[in-house]
């Protein structure tokens, strides 16, 4: 026979509460912070860069980025320096713990996401599976 599990809730005064530091859902490198801030400065109506995940590509999911004029309900806000990023509500769990970088080479410039949750990527690196 399975035992029932119980939980108790205890009310605490505001003075007795300790705030634990929250870890950001997404961290940005200095290069990414500079690039996001630069993109936002070019678009005065944009308050942030929105990051989300769409079903697309060879292995199932792909990131998308767009300018955001306002924060939508349930979006996570990440601020680092002058950079502001909104994480789409549907993408929050898949982006948890991700580092966002901006990389420039002679042939391209792009945001690169180092995501510890990814299990598989396609050959071109544009899509992934969790």
pLDDT in tens, 46-105: 899 998 887 765 667 777 888 989 999 888 888 988 899 898 888 777 777 888 888 888
pLDDT band at residue 124 under the 50/70/90 scheme: low
What are the C-alpha distances in Å from 34 to residues 25, 49, 53, 87, 88? 19, 13, 23, 18, 21
Q: How many CB atoms lie within 10 A of CB 65?
A: 14
User: What pTM does this model have?
Assistant: 0.72
Residue 9 has pLDDT above 70, yes or no: no
Local structure of 94: helix, strand or coil: helix
Non-local (6+) Cβ contacts of 62 within 8 A are: 53, 54, 55, 56, 126, 127, 128
Q: Which pLDDT score is estimated for 16?
A: 55
């Amino acid at each position: 026979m399975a035992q029932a599990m119980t939980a108790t809730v205890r009310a605490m005064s505001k003075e007795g509460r300790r705030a634990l530091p929250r870890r950001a859902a997404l961290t940005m490198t200095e290069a990414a912070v500079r690039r996001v801030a630069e993109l936002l400065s070019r678009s005065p109506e944009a308050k942030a860069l929105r990051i989300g995940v769409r079903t697309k590509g060879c292995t199932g999911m792909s990131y998308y980025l767009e300018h955001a004029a306002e924060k939508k309900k349930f979006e996570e806000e990440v601020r680092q320096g002058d950079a502001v990023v909104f994480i789409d509500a549907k993408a929050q769990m898949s982006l948890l713990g991700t580092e966002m970088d901006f990389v420039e080479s002679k042939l391209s410039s792009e945001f690169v996401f180092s995501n510890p949750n990814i299990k598989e990527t396609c050959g071109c690196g544009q899509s992934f599976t969790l």
